[in-house]
Amino acid sequence: MNPKMWNIFTLISISILSFDVSCGRQNAVWQGKIEEKEEVVIVRNPKEPIYDESVFSLEPELSIGNQPAQSESAFSEIGNVIVDREGRIYVSDPKEVQIKVFDNNGAYLRTIGRRGQGPGELEAVTGLQIMDNGELAIFDMNTRRITFYTPEGKFLRVLLTDKIPATRLQLDAKGNFIASTYLLENLKAITEIKIFGDNQNFLQVLDTSEPANIFNPFLPYTDWRLAENGNLYLGYNKNYEIAIFNSEWQLTKKILKDYDPIKISSEEKKEALKKFPYSKDVKLPSFYPAFSGFVVDDQGLIYVKTWKKAKAANAFYYDVFDPQGRYVAKIPLSWSLQVCKSGRTYMIEENKEGFPIVKRYKTLWKVKLIQ
């Protein structure tokens, strides 16, 4: 090859290499395995993703709650954040027992609910959900009732759920209930994920946890999310596994991932004992559970929060899986991820004064994750 052709070849090679690096390409192809067993798709993922964190970034768009403490837009604390189809943002304030509603630009619209026992009043706010017809459902597990409002804040009705002994509850499109139930025996906790019909009759059990000491602050548990497509995602953090059930409650897919357990330091154990003094007589584990929670976005991407700390303050790594269940990226996020919807990421953060706020970011991916 003559020198001129060699220089051209070298420049092309460098350009291709630079393109791969700039796009965060870590592995040329996904290194996992997909198999099917008894009509269930099993996706086995390696420890490392296809892309590294350079493929992801967030562009700040708006903050909610930065106003003075007495402002109608400020929060005493934040429990849940949800977003409806029109982009309205609903934020629950458990301390004030109310929900504040903001438009797509972050402007305050109204406050829904107030403390009390009368029609349209609330004793607690333990969960929020936007129904398919646009109604806002407010869950109060303390009094076992669901209160419904229009998006404009008009009280509609109350549904008593006293037949379902749940600690957490949601409704599917057919009116069935997904419930977390809790049984305590000899200081051992057993949690079950159950399905109840629209008349609150028991239908089936999806998951039963192993008995575990309630005084273990690092207790593994099963988390769950009802996605917009009607699928139910169950996350088992004793082992790294996410199970997907369809709208008929049939198990269709299992997503598994190899991982390196994160060790619990002696300092972290001391801090836990300060918060949970009854744990002093419990033998604490050496490692954290596989992950601490997850979020499913409106496109089917799954964001799993791990215990691996990132460089920035308060930052942890999130494992991102595509709708097929492939481990595609690992990204650092500094605060509590709440919602990923319509190309936007919503997180609970704190302002300079230490008050809780909601921040929205534009989600930027340098690669196409959904084929």
In the block, tokens 């051209």 appear at 8
Q: Among 344, 326, 270, 327, which residue's Cα sits nearest to residue 105? A: 344
pLDDT tens, 168-227?
999 999 999 999 998 888 778 889 999 999 999 999 999 998 888 778 888 888 999 999
CATH of domain 27-365: 2.120.10.30
Closest CA to 308 of 316, 298, 319: 316
Amino acid at 261: P
| The pLDDT of residue 313 | 81
Specify the pLDDT at position 138: 96
Comparing 371 with 251, which gets the higher pLDDT? Answer: 251
> Is pLDDT above 70 for 162?
yes
At 1 the pLDDT is: 44
CB within 8 Å of 47: residues ≥ 6 apart: 257, 258, 259, 260
What's the predicted TM-score (pTM) here? 0.90
